[in-house]
Structure 1
Amino acid sequence: MIYIYNCYGGTHSSALAAAYHLKKLPFGRKPTKNEILNTDCFNRLTPKEMGKLIFHGLDEEGSEVYTIGRGSSKAVIPAMRCVLERFEKNEMLDEKVIFSNTSPTVPLAMTFGGLFSRRLKIDPLGVPLLVLGSQQAYKDIIKLVERTKAHAKTTSSLIEVLDNGFMSQSVK
């Protein structure tokens, strides 16, 4: 199985979701500032890296976990799905691929933190907002990861796109 968590920049909510999925962040408590800032790719990606699939590791079941930043494009995930459907049609896809949108978990503090830090390069203002937003969102991100994993186990489709429009059913 392949999990692909996606959000606007690929560097905040999706990076945190990948870390929770891989059990690199605690489930039973709010993450600390250091835990958040030391999360793989957290607040480190640039706009040039949007659209790039980033591998984060293998989970406890051997499934691959990736993230991708979509930017403002509404076409990235549908395009990836279309390519995968082509592989599926030609019997070249033999494992499930689950796209999970983490954007619905993003609070205002994380949105502004990302804007200040990544776009405007004002880390002294942006980073504290990102940490605050990450701590505000941690329960929602954990819930999203748990629902994503549960859905992956129950679906018979090889390709699923979960919009999670908080937290709606999958979108075809």
Structure 2
Amino acid sequence: MVYHCFGGAHSSPVAAAIHAGLLPADRVPDGRALARIPYFDTTPPSHWGELLPVGKDAHGHEVYVMGHGPHGALACRAVLAGYALGREEWPPLLLIDTVPYINLWMRIGGFLSRRLRLVSLGRPLVIWGARRAYPRLAALVREVQARCDSRARPLAER
């Protein structure tokens, strides 16, 4: 599964880290824990459109992050088209949009940190915003996991 957002640096890494078990699903972590997850506030535009690995979930499914820039729908279609060219035995690919979970603080902090490179100003705002968005992101992950659980097969059967 691929969690994606505009820059691939804030909401999608948080959701992917929850899904992969790197962050707790039942409580909001502190800012230091958020800052330590893969790709948090560090993904540059040069990596937009790439699937960046975060880890595996409880069923062994790979979990990825993707930033897509201003062309989200196009990037998602391209990823799905490329995936479809792969082998038939690959499990279904889920693309989960985390853009609706981004709040004003994450937008402002992300702009300052990633676009203007004012990390010392932007990152604290992004962390503050991510902590406020966390319960909604965790609920999204629970929905995705329930969807995956309903069709999960042991890895040996694939």
Secondary structure of 1:17's counterpart equals helix
Q: Offset at 1:154? A: 3.8
- Say whether residues 1:98 and 2:94 are aligned partners: yes
- Say whether the 8 Å CA contact 1:40–1:56 is kept in structure 2: yes
The alpha-carbon deviation at position 153 of structure 1 amounts to 3.6
Structure 1 unaligned regions, length at least 5: 156-172
Q: 1:26 to 1:154 in 2, by over 3 A?
A: closer
Letter in 2 for 1:137: A
CA contact (8 A) 1:19 1:39 kept: yes
Which residue matches 2:123?
127
- Aligned with 1:25 (options 5, 23, 35): 23
**Whole-Å separation in 2 of the counterparts to 1:139 and 1:49:** 27
- TM-score if structure 1 supplies the norm length? 0.81
What's the counterpart of residue 135 of structure 2? Answer: 139
Quote the Cα distance in structure 1 between the aligned partners of 2:104 and 2:134. Answer: 14
Partner of 2:35: 37
Aligned residues: 151
Identity, in percent, stands at 32
Q: Determine if the alignment matches structure 1 residue 76 to structure 2 residue 75.
A: yes
Separation of aligned partners in 2, 1:83 and 1:50: 15
Question: Where does structure 2 lack aligned partners over 5 or more consecutive residues?
Answer: 152-158
Q: State the Cα RMSD in Å.
A: 1.7
2:94 aligned counterpart, secondary structure: strand
1:106 partner letter:
I
Alpha-carbon deviation of 1:82? 2.5
Deviation at 1:86, TM superposition (A): 4.5
Q: Distance in 1 between matches of 2:88 and 2:24?
A: 37
Ranges of 4+ aligned residues in structure 1 off by more than 4 Å: none
